Chain A
Amino acid sequence: MESVIPARGAVLDRLARLCQSGHWRRSPLAAAPSGFAQLDASLPGGGWPLGAIAELMPAASGIGELSVLLPALSRLARAGRYIAWIAPPYLPHAPALAQRGLPLERVLIIRSCSSQESLWAAEQALLCPAFGAVLSWPARISDKNVRRLQLAAETGASLGILYRPAAAAREPSPAALRLQLEPTADGLAVAILKCRGGRSGLRLQLPQAAV
C-alpha cells in the first residue's frame, strides 16, 4: 500500500484545485440549444435545461410536440448521448426521425405495462449519464414523482421531458420548465408557464417545423 499514498495525495490535490476553480460543480445553466432562436432566447442558458425536467403540455397529439424537441435531441444524439422514449403513445417512425437528423443508433424505446414501471424506467434512464434525454408520457404523475425524476435528471445531467395532458397546465408542478403547446394556422404557439431561472408568462410563435 505504501506506493499508493503519494498517488492519493496527488488526487486530493487535484480535487482541491478543482473545488477552488469551480469546475467541480456542474453549471446549473447547462442547456441543449432547441434549434429555435426565439425559444433559446427565452430559456435560461439558451436552450432546454440539462439536468432538469421539462413538461410539455400539447393541446393534442400531432401538433408539432415532437418537432419542437427534435433539433435538440438530434444534437444530443450526435454528441454521443442516447435518447430514451418511454412508453410513447404511438410508434416513433424511423424514416421521419432519420429525416430530421436523429441518429437511430442512439434511440432506445422502452415499452412497459404499467405506469409504475414507466416511472421506474424513466428514473433509471435519467440517472444514467450516457442518456442525453428521456421522453415519457405519463397519464398521471404526482408532484412527488416529478421531484424524484428531477433529482434523477440532475444526477445524470440529462433532459427529462414529460409529455402531459393539456389539463395538467392548470395544476402546479415542481418541474423546472413548463410549456403549453397549441397549434396555430402557421405553426406552434408556445406558452412558457414556468421557467426556473428565467421569465415565465411569455408566449412565442414558432414556425411550422416539419411540414
Chain B
Amino acid sequence: MSQELWLCIRFPQLATEALALATTSVDGHSAGGLLIQRAALERLAAWAYQWSSLISCAPCEPLLWLELGASRTLFGGHAALLARIEAGLLQLGYSHVCALAASPTAAALLTRADEPRCVLTKSQLRQRFASLGLDLLELPAATHSALQASGLRRIGQLLDLPAAAIARRFGPETVLYLQRLCAQASDPRPAWRAPDTYGARCEFGVEVHSTTALLFPLQRLLLEFQGYLYARDCSVPRFTLEFEHYRHPVSRVTIGLCAPARDAQQLLGLARERLHALQLPAPVSALRLQALEFSSPQIVQQDLFGSDTQPLQSLQRLLDRLHARLGPDSLHSLQLQADYRPERSSRCIAPDPARMSSSPQAPAPDEPMPERPCWLLPEPRCIEAPSEPLLRGPERIESGWWDQGDVQRDYYIARSGEGAQLWVFRDRRDGRWYLQGLWA
C-alpha cells in the first residue's frame, strides 16, 4: 500500500469539450451528455494507458484514475511524469484538474479542493485534510445532514474522532470511506482494459460541411490513438476513418502506410492529404477512427542533426503522402521487360519501397540492345513520310507474332524542322510512318 500513488484527473467540461465543434455547452448529467462523456472517458483511458498499466474510469463522473507508483521511476519521478501528462491533456484540448495522493479516494477528493493537490505521503494527507471542509467528502446526502447537525466543520475534526464513535453516529460505511481517504484500507478500483482493436468515435454537435474543419477533431482522435499505440507498444499499418452523415450511409476511407507508424502527426499528415481530395456526399455529424490490425513497432532513432540516416523511412513517408493525396494510380516505378517491342520493353509498376531501396541490378549484358530514346510516346503517332534524309537506320524489329501484338517495323532516327531527333518507324505491313519516341 505504501508504494501506491494515484493520479486522479477530473474533466470538468468533458461532455462539452468532447463534442469537438459544439457551440453550446452540454450538460454532463443529461442522458445524451452522459453517453458523450462516457465515450470520451474511454478514449482518454486508452490514451492514458501509455503512462500507467492500471487505469480506472469512474462509473458516472468525468474522473480518471492512473496508478503511478509503478511507473513514476520509469518516467523520471512523479513531477516529470505529471508534467508530461498535463502537457498531453493540453494538446488534446481538455480542461482538467489533476491530484496526486496515496489512495484513489483521496486523489478524487483533492481534485475538488484548492491547491496543493499533490500529497504524496499518508501523514501529509492527514495534515492536508485537517483544514478542508466536510462538504468535499463523497458521502450520501443523509450522512452530510448528520455531519452538519453534529457541529463538525472540518475533515480533520471528523478524523480525530474514534472510529467506533463515527460508526455509531454516521454509519460503518463512513468509517470505511474515511479509511480509504487516509489510505488505511484497501481501495480497489476496476481496472480499465485495453481493447484488442481500436475504435473511437467523436460527435461534433453540429454538421460539418468542410473537410478542413474535420482536421481539428481528427487531430485529437489521432493523439488519443497514439497514446493507445504507445501503451500497447505497437504500430498501425492501416486505419479507417468513418464519416457519419444524418441521412446518408457512412462514408469510409482507409489509409494505408508503407511502413507501420504510430506518430499522430504523421498519421494526421496522411489523413490531411486524403481529406483534401475527398468529396463527401453530405455534411458530417460524427467521425470514427478504427484500427483492427497492429504490428510491432519499427523504432527509429531520430538524428539530432537532421542528416539523412534513414532514407528508406523518409521515402516511405513521402510515398504515403503522395499516395494519400494523389491516389495509388499516380505513382509508378519503371521496370525493364524482356521484349523487343519498344512499347512493351518498359513497364510501369507500383512503387515498392523495398525494391526502390535495394541495390541496383546491373542491366543484363548478354542482351545488347541498340540505343533507345529517353522519351516514348504513349502510342505511336501516324506521321507523314520524313522528307529530310534519315540520320540512322533502319533497325528492324519483328516480334510478337505469337501474342497478337505482331509488329514488323523498320526504325530510323530523323531530324525535325526544330532540330529535335525523332525515333520513327515505317510499318512494313501498311507502309505508313509513325513517330514513337524522342531522343531527348
Is there an interface contact between A109 and B331, defined as CB atoms closer than 8 Å? yes
Chain B residues contacting A46 (CB-CB under 8 Å) are: none
Question: For A97, A98, A128, which residue has the most chain B Cβ atoms within 10 angstroms?
Answer: A98
Least Cβ–Cβ distance between A58 and chain B, in angstroms: 8
Determine the distance from Cα of A120 to Cα of B318 in the docked complex, in whole angstroms.
12
Is there an interface contact between B419 and A77, defined as CB atoms closer than 8 Å? no
User: Assuming the A-B contacts A63-B440, A110-B326, A211-B413, are A130 and B333 also in contact, with contact meaning beta carbons closer than 8 angstroms in the complex?
Assistant: no
A96: Cβ under 8 A from any B Cβ: yes
Chain A residues contacting B355 (CB-CB under 8 Å) are: 105
Is there an interface contact between A62 and B420, defined as CB atoms closer than 8 Å? yes
User: Assuming the A-B contacts A1-B80, A109-B334, A128-B315, are A96 and B373 also in contact, with contact meaning beta carbons closer than 8 angstroms in the complex?
Assistant: yes
Determine the distance from Cα of A99 to Cα of B373 in the docked complex, in whole angstroms.
10
B347: Cβ under 8 A from any A Cβ: yes
Chain A residues contacting B366 (CB-CB under 8 Å) are: none
Is there an interface contact between A106 and B356, defined as CB atoms closer than 8 Å? yes
Is there an interface contact between B360 and A78, defined as CB atoms closer than 8 Å? yes
Is there an interface contact between A130 and B311, defined as CB atoms closer than 8 Å? yes
Question: Interface code A95-131, partner B: CB below 8 Å = 1, 0 otherwise?
Answer: 1111110011111111111000100110011001111
Determine the distance from Cα of A94 to Cα of B439 in the docked complex, in whole angstroms.
13
User: Assuming the A-B contacts A60-B419, A182-B419, are A97 and B308 also in contact, with contact meaning beta carbons closer than 8 angstroms in the complex?
Assistant: no
Question: Interface code B374-406, partner A: CB below 8 Å = 1, 0 otherwise?
Answer: 111110000000000001100000000000000
Chain B residues contacting A88 (CB-CB under 8 Å) are: 375
Is there an interface contact between B331 and A64, defined as CB atoms closer than 8 Å? no
Question: For B319, B329, B332, B419, which residue has the most chain A Cβ atoms within 10 angstroms?
Answer: B419
Determine the distance from Cα of A124 to Cα of B346 in the docked complex, in whole angstroms.
26
Least Cβ–Cβ distance between A35 and chain B, in angstroms: 15
Determine the distance from Cα of A11 to Cα of B437 in the docked complex, in whole angstroms.
55
User: Assuming the A-B contacts A64-B439, A95-B346, A107-B333, are A210 and B418 also in contact, with contact meaning beta carbons closer than 8 angstroms in the complex?
Assistant: no
Query: DSSP class of B's interface residues: helix, strand, loop or mixed?
Result: mixed
A80: Cβ under 8 A from any B Cβ: yes
Chain A residues contacting B363 (CB-CB under 8 Å) are: 98-99
A38: Cβ under 8 A from any B Cβ: no
Among residues of B, the one whose C-beta sits closest to the C-beta of A23 is B305
Chain B residues contacting A82 (CB-CB under 8 Å) are: 311, 315, 356
Chain A residues contacting B422 (CB-CB under 8 Å) are: 62
Is there an interface contact between A93 and B311, defined as CB atoms closer than 8 Å? no
Among residues of A, the one whose C-beta sits closest to the C-beta of B76 is A1
Least Cβ–Cβ distance between A86 and chain B, in angstroms: 10
Is there an interface contact between B311 and A99, defined as CB atoms closer than 8 Å? no
Question: Interface code A178-211, partner B: CB below 8 Å = 1, 0 otherwise?
Answer: 0000111000000000000000000000000011
Determine the distance from Cα of A116 to Cα of B419 in the docked complex, in whole angstroms.
32
Chain A residues contacting B304 (CB-CB under 8 Å) are: 11, 15
Least Cβ–Cβ distance between B353 and chain A, in angstroms: 10
Determine the distance from Cα of A150 to Cα of B331 in the docked complex, in whole angstroms.
23
A2: Cβ under 8 A from any B Cβ: yes
Chain B residues contacting A121 (CB-CB under 8 Å) are: 322, 325-326
Among residues of A, the one whose C-beta sits closest to the C-beta of B348 is A109
Q: Which residue of the partner chain, among B75, B315, B322, contacts A130 with CB atoms under 8 Å?
A: B315
Chain A residues contacting B419 (CB-CB under 8 Å) are: 59-60, 63, 182-184
Give the bracket for the number of chain B residues in contact with chain A: 35 or more
Among residues of A, the one whose C-beta sits closest to the C-beta of B352 is A105
Is there an interface contact between B351 and A108, defined as CB atoms closer than 8 Å? yes
Q: Which residue of the partner chain, among B305, B308, B377, contacts A91 with CB atoms under 8 Å?
A: B377
A28: Cβ under 8 A from any B Cβ: no
A61: Cβ under 8 A from any B Cβ: yes
Q: Which residue of the partner chain, among B314, B331, B336, B371, contacts A110 with CB atoms under 8 Å?
A: B331
Chain A residues contacting B176 (CB-CB under 8 Å) are: none
Chain B residues contacting A108 (CB-CB under 8 Å) are: 319, 331-333, 351, 356
Is there an interface contact between A94 and B334, defined as CB atoms closer than 8 Å? yes
Is there an interface contact between B333 and A1, defined as CB atoms closer than 8 Å? no
Determine the distance from Cα of A81 to Cα of B357 in the docked complex, in whole angstroms.
9
User: Assuming the A-B contacts A62-B422, A94-B335, A106-B360, are A125 and B318 also in contact, with contact meaning beta carbons closer than 8 angstroms in the complex?
Assistant: yes
Is there an interface contact between B369 and A99, defined as CB atoms closer than 8 Å? yes
Chain A residues contacting B356 (CB-CB under 8 Å) are: 82, 105-106, 108
User: Assuming the A-B contacts A1-B80, A61-B440, A104-B336, are A110 and B360 also in contact, with contact meaning beta carbons closer than 8 angstroms in the complex?
Assistant: no
Least Cβ–Cβ distance between A101 and chain B, in angstroms: 9
Question: Interface code B134-161, partner A: CB below 8 Å = 1, 0 otherwise?
Answer: 0000000000000000000000000000
Least Cβ–Cβ distance between B327 and chain A, in angstroms: 9
B416: Cβ under 8 A from any A Cβ: yes
Chain B residues contacting A105 (CB-CB under 8 Å) are: 333, 355-358, 360-361
Question: Interface code A130-167, partner B: CB below 8 Å = 1, 0 otherwise?
Answer: 11000000000000000000000000000000000000
Determine the distance from Cα of A15 to Cα of B303 in the docked complex, in whole angstroms.
12
Question: Interface code B163-193, partner A: CB below 8 Å = 1, 0 otherwise?
Answer: 0000000000000000000000000000000
B133: Cβ under 8 A from any A Cβ: no
7 pairs from A and B in contact (CB 8 Å cutoff) = A63-B420, A92-B374, A94-B334, A96-B374, A104-B360, A128-B315, A210-B373
What 6 A-B pairs have minimum CB-CB distances, sorted nearest first?
Answer: A1-B76, A183-B419, A103-B360, A62-B438, A62-B420, A94-B346
Supplied contacts A90-B438, A100-B374, 15 more A-B pairs, CB within 8 Å: A60-B420, A61-B420, A62-B422, A67-B440, A90-B440, A94-B337, A96-B373, A98-B336, A99-B371, A103-B361, A108-B356, A109-B334, A109-B348, A210-B439, A211-B413
